[in-house]
Amino acid sequence: MLSKRMEEKLNKQINSEFWSAYLYLSMFSFFQNKNLTGFANWMKVQYQEETTHAMKIFDYVNDRGGRVLLQPIAAVDTKWEDETDVFETTLNHEQKVTSLINNLVNIAIEEKDHATNNMLQWFVEEQVEEEANADEILQQLNMLKGNPHGILMLDRELKQRTFVDETKQI
């Protein structure tokens, strides 16, 4: 059974994960509007991943006898200067999510909640990948310095990304 404190913090994380999905959906729209379908695809996959992350925690709270209490999702940004600005926002956001996950791990350890700590380790590992992926694309965009030919090549590459629900894999 979850402590009330852990349940409350996990509920906040569910909201944060859904907010993240909403942010990436906004970025998806931004790129669709610019007809950068590969960049849009990358963000759509991010949206799908964040939704499954929220549901992984959602299911965990229910499995541990807690109660999920959904809260309103705050507004997200809808405007960025360019592709680089979007991926700077993405990397900064993923770094923030990493800190949120790390704080949850700290609480689980403090409360000697080994089951929650174990579940959260999946997210710790996932955040390493999330930050690395965003950073790699950001570095590529910085190298391109807005070169339209390079942007189109990167767009084609990003179109290849497909969604895989890794929360269901062991």
Domains with residue ranges and CATH for the chain: 4-165 (1.20.1260.10)
Report pTM.
Answer: 0.95
Tens digit of each residue's pLDDT (9 = 90 or more) over 31-58? 999 999 999 999 999 999 999 999 999 9
Query: Residue 146 — very low, low, confident or very high, per pLDDT cuts 50/70/90?
Result: confident
Residue 44, both tokens: 């759509």
The HSE-up count of residue 147 (CA atoms within 13 Å, CB side) is 10
- Taking the C-alpha atoms of residue 80 and residue 26, their distance in angstroms, rounded to an integer, is 10
Q: Name the least confident of 24-33, 74-83, 94-103, 159-168.
A: 159-168
Average pLDDT score over the chain: 97
Task: Confirm if 163 and 45 have CB atoms less than 8 A apart.
Answer: yes
Tens digit of each residue's pLDDT (9 = 90 or more) over 5-40? 999 999 999 999 999 999 999 999 999 999 999 999
